[in-house]
Structure 1
Amino acid sequence: MRFDELSIPEEVRQGIRDAGFSECTPIQEQTLPLTLGGKDVAGQAQTGTGKTAAFLITLFTRLLENKDNSTHQPRALILAPTRELVVQIEEDAQLLGRHCGLVTQAIYGGVDYMKQRSALREGADVIVGTPGRLIDYLKQKVYSLKGIEMLVIDEADRMFDMGFIADLRFILRKLPPYDKRQNLMFSATLSLRVMELAYEFMNMPQKLSVTPEKMTAERVEQVLYHVSRKEKFPLLLGLLRRTGMERTMIFINTKREAEYLFDRLNANGFPCRVISGDVEQRKRMRILDDFKQGKLPILIATDVASRGLHIEGVTHVINYDLPQDCEDYVHRIGRTARAGSEGKAISLADEDGAFFLEAIEEYIKDKIPTEWAEDELFVNDYVRTPRPKRKPLEAKTGGSRGRGGERTARPARSGSVKPKPAAVAAPPSPTAATEGATGEAPAKKRRRRRRKPGEKAEPGSAAAPQAE
């Protein structure tokens, strides 16, 4: 099906031509006839199938029916789980909606707080954002959701995985009634919990699925190497030197291992950068821009970058660590072979990763081809770098915290000043029992006896003479 066959305004058609689209993808061919007619849709499709363009075309078509926005309040809301996906959707919206005269604003954490707040106050027709900061501005009454005409939830399954479901429900309860707006939801898997959310907040959604029998992209060449943990880096160097990878993404499971790999690759002549959840958002965006523009040949990433990113020209994806979640494998290798191009996905299975291989192959319903690396492929004469040391937990606090958050003293080191022993209490005096409540001893009363004639006074008595 061609886009010319659909009932789309001319302003949207111009944006489609600017993007270079002419033929509909399977997900677009199934969803657009329904969504352009005002139906709610819950769609299942794998990454890179064009679902972003499908809901953006529907969104702009609906908003162009009534351009009046005198209240300057948002009319459409797009929710996404990650900042990178929000930025990607905004870029696609700017391209497809270039001729529509609508204002699109991205809202996400990690960037200038007051700048986004001011942009919302000035007014926006379409908001694309992550739940956290959207709720923050909503509680401050910076904007209102009462005028929302269309709702889009992208990567709904990822919302559950990242723990956003409570925030998502909070936002959805602030929207107009479900029958007063159009609702679209897209997810890699339409599980029971995702469909429960759809039936709760959508108006009789039409369930669609275009996931093929083969879960992975057809143009991705997959290969698997079984290798020990100590031989992974020598093999990686050999692969990078032999294949001449122009634009490569290397996925790794933990941030600490990603930083260690970053040090070793740079020390051996392979410039690269790392993006993870702990990297500042501005820095992450600069790294991604350099990678997209070809200034950076190698990008090391944790799974924060495995979903939603559309980077053209990625020739190779390397799973330095096999993912523990089988769905992440599909999203990782989906970064290559996008928009009809070809790519290669290389996986390294060590002693730990081999345990995840069976679940991955069962999920993708296919066997990953295995190759055995030749001895000359391993590079052993590489520059060694020390592994970064773990920071001690008590280095900054000077002590540990006990139960209830109270700080406990650290044991004294040898040679340090020892605390003085407590003073030993003196044995009670005979008059202790006669002490009053004030702690003072009462005056001692003595009976005076009349002295007999000729009797000497007792020493120490009042009548005895005092020595000078």
Structure 2
Amino acid sequence: MVTHLSTTAFKNMGLHPNLLKALEALGYEYATPIQAQAIPLLLNSNDVAGQAQTGTGKTNAFLLAILNELLTLPAVADREPNEPRAFIIAPTRELVIQIYEDAKTLAKFTDLKMCVAYGGADYDKQRNAIEAGCDVLIGTVGRLIDYLKQNVYNFYALDCVVLDEADRMFDLGFINDIRYLFRKMPKPDQRLNMLFSATLSHRVKELAYEHMNHPTHIHVEAEQVTADKVRQLLYYPANHEKLPLLVGLINKYQPQKAVIFTNTRRQAEKVWLCLKGNDIKAGLLTGDVAQKKRIRLLDELKQGKIDMLIATDVAARGLHIDGVTHVFNYDLPDDAEDYVHRIGRTARAGAEGDAISFAGEDNAFNLPAIEEYIESTIPTADVDPSLLANIKPSAPMEEKRNRPTNSRKPQSHNRNRKSPNHRNHSSN
């Protein structure tokens, strides 16, 4: 996974001055390879289908292109507040939130308004925000379709469309819903289209050709499948050694920020209780954690209120937290590709990091497939008794898992529809 920078400076790309000001404030001078290839094409109104692994800077690539388009292209004169000019579709709530935060940072010196639409959060609050004024709408498929059918927003002023992690959309079974949204939009030649995916498989390319305007395909060739600045290490603990070894390694390395991955919610809870009982500040992020709590946990990790996050693979994609120094695979993942996504949470944007994995009794058989996928052998270390901490008994579970209890359907929100032919709008 390429993490180095190119020799292309942002100031030479022709970006809007307010975007250059934001990049300077962030300390970004040179583009990553995917940014250096994609942004010039997009600024010249060429559609792009990009293949790049996690951590390569593709989010900022499409955000800079979108924001530049909105700052330089005149908006439709009779545009309504609830008619977004840019539309970004992402597979998970966590990725939507991350894109939203990045977009706000890059648009800091502009008047552009960002809105989100994802499940598990306040339905009316999101809807009201979109209706009040939305230039860039970022969301997951289900909530986006829900609001579209409720006439909360429409596509009459659409200039730019992004489909992020297209391969993940297929994996999650969202592709028919994606096609539904595309069919409601202006024709492909009347908008700027971007598609990004870890793999440009046949099915992803077919989607690109069907709903894009002769896209240019970009492939950032990875020097290695895994990040070249991640120091990988593998232990073979017995099941009864895993928790003492984890606590011992945490005590040894004292990670500034860490993510610990498990394969199941039950294992995640077990690890969280152990760390809690041993005075290690950690948060628990699994599929059934309420959305408000998810956001709070991520904020607490970013702000240093907790030192680490125990997560299932719900957090493996699209989770970007600056400064993660260590990733622990408490369980080796069943899917070799998930290994790459997990350890990609560290050593981002050129930084260094450590990925420590346990090939335990229950999942050591996953190792050959992982090493074949990454085309290398993971270095091993012995489970030295000195590494095994004397752990305290686990703390009791203090609260039940938060589960949504409000199943009421949102009330119908009727608005007068305009004729879809009331404008002939092109983004080129």
Match of residue 334, structure 1, among 336, 340, 344? 344
The one-letter code sitting in structure 2 at the alignment partner of 1:108 is: Y
Contact 1:314/1:343, CA 8 A, preserved across alignment: yes
Aligned to 2:39: 32
Match of residue 302, structure 2, among 275, 286, 292? 292
Alignment of 1:149-160 (within 5 A): 149-160=159-170
Aligned to 1:130: 140
The one-letter code sitting in structure 2 at the alignment partner of 1:190 is: L
Alpha-carbon distance in structure 2 between the residues aligned to 1:229 and 1:218:
30
Q: Look at both structures and tell me which one has the larger radius of gyration over its CA atoms.
A: 1
The one-letter code sitting in structure 2 at the alignment partner of 1:71 is: E
Aligned to 1:383: 392
Q: Does 1:226 align with 2:236?
A: yes
1:99-138 deviations in Å (ceiling 9; x for gaps): 2321111111111111111111122111011011111111
Alpha-carbon distance in structure 2 between the residues aligned to 1:376 and 1:14:
51
1:365-392 deviations in Å (ceiling 9; x for gaps): 111111112122123x42234998xx9x
Aligned to 1:177: 187
Contact 2:75/2:157, CA 8 A, preserved across alignment: no
Q: How large is the Cα RMSD of the aligned pairs?
A: 1.6
The one-letter code sitting in structure 1 at the alignment partner of 2:29 is: S
Aligned to 1:68: 75
Match of residue 17, structure 1, among 15, 24, 29? 24
Aligned to 1:366: 376
Match of residue 292, structure 2, among 266, 275, 282? 282
Contact 2:276/2:394, CA 8 A, preserved across alignment: no
1:150-203 deviations in Å (ceiling 9; x for gaps): 100111111111221122111111111111111101111111111111111111
Q: Does 1:208 align with 2:248?
A: no
Structure 1: gaps (5+ residues): 392-468
Match of residue 332, structure 2, among 317, 322, 325? 322
The one-letter code sitting in structure 1 at the alignment partner of 2:98 is: Q
Helix, strand or coil at the partner of 1:370: coil
The one-letter code sitting in structure 2 at the alignment partner of 1:263 is: L
Aligned to 1:308: 318
Structure 2: gaps (5+ residues): 1-7, 401-428
Q: TM-score, normalised by structure 1?
A: 0.80
Task: Tell me the percent identity.
Answer: 52
The one-letter code sitting in structure 1 at the alignment partner of 2:319 is: L
The 3 A distance-change label for structure 1 pair 12 and 45 is same
- Note the C-alpha offset of 1:350: 1.0
Contact 1:42/1:205, CA 8 A, preserved across alignment: yes
1:309-363 deviations in Å (ceiling 9; x for gaps): 2211111100001111111111111111112221100000012321111111111
Between 1 and 2, higher relative CO (CA 8 Å, sep ≥ 6) is seen in 2
- Alignment coverage as a number of residue pairs: 388
Helix, strand or coil at the partner of 1:371: coil
Contact 2:277/2:395, CA 8 A, preserved across alignment: no
Alpha-carbon distance in structure 2 between the residues aligned to 1:61 and 1:245:
38
Helix, strand or coil at the partner of 2:184: coil
Alignment of 1:48-447 (within 5 A): 48-68=55-75, 70-72=79-81, 73-379=83-389, 381-385=390-394
Aligned to 1:4: 11
